[in-house]
Amino acid sequence: MIYVNGQPRDRGGATIAELLSDLGVEAAARGVAVAVDGEVVPRTQWPVRTVNDGARVEALSAMQGG
């Protein structure tokens, strides 16, 4: 079990790219940042970086506005 944006998911062992796909986020989307256990993961690692059970993943997207 991992936590994505605070929600439990049974996706331990998935890559970050797979998790983003589950959320409906394109891997090439601009303005997206991902952190695993508080550490920002570079976009180049998303297709290969797996997320272990117990990890906390935060996927954030920049919003324009004021």
pLDDT in tens, 17-41: 999 999 999 878 889 999 999 999 9
Would you give the distance in Å from CA 53 to the centre of its chain? 14
Fold classification of 2-61 is Ubiquitin-like (UB roll) (3.10.20)
Rounded Cα gap, residues 30 and 4, in angstroms: 19
pTM for this prediction: 0.87
6, pLDDT greater than 80: yes
CB 34 within 8 A of CB 40: yes
